[in-house]
Amino acid sequence: MRAYAAGYGRAMAQRLLAAVAVLSAVFVLAACGGVSTGTQSGNARSATGRTTTRPVAQPEQLTSPPPADLEVLHLSGFVAPSGNVSCMIDVNYARCDIIDRDWSPPARPVDCESDYGQGITVAAGEQAHYVCAGDTAFGMDAVLPYGESIKAAALKCESAESGITCRDVQTSHGFSISRQAYQLF
């Protein structure tokens, strides 16, 4: 029991020190005049009581440039933030599978003897088509946030709230997939 109590006391002390460190960092940032994204008047009172004028930040100054494509050379996987679509991409192909959808794929081809319509794929230099396979693209943990993309050679997948779009940037062939709809192009 003494060992448990001593261990519990050490754990509580470590948590308290961590909390103090976080609060100290917050106070230091606040004292330094942290970043504000609110719109305020350009006038402020100085310590001497005089009114000073400072420029108001323009919206274009508050936004950062869009993130660059994450570039990969080997098979990589990601999941949409919703968790409903999961994809794999490498220099040869991109494939996305979906769990829940409000649409149905076209009729199964006669030569498809595996699962069909659970996903769409595009190979470099080819047209996109439905997946006929007994495996899945699910199982990846990495989330590709909305507004970001991943690229492998000429293949690129983009994540958006409206769904995932993958294409061959050289031929413009590809697909988009979401719960509401799909498109092959």
pLDDT tens for each residue of 147-166: 999 999 999 999 999 999 99
Give the residue, 47 or 93, on which the prediction is more confident: 93
159 and 89 in a common domain: yes
- Give the separation between CA 82 and CA 88, rounded to whole angstroms: 16
Count the domains in the chain.
Answer: 2
% of the chain exceeding 90 in pLDDT: 59
Q: Is the pLDDT of residue 36 over 50?
A: no
Q: Which of 10, 44, 62 is the last residue of a domain?
A: 62
In three-state secondary structure terms, 76 is strand
Please choose, from the candidates 145, 143, 170, 138, the residue with its C-alpha nearest in 3D space to the C-alpha of residue 156: 170
pTM higher than 0.85 for the full model? no
98 and 7 in a common domain: no
pLDDT tens for each residue of 110-135: 999 999 999 999 999 999 999 999 99
161 and 93 in a common domain: yes
Domain span including residue 24: 2-62
Give the residue, 8 or 64, on which the prediction is more confident: 64
Q: Which of 62, 88, 110 is the last residue of a domain?
A: 62
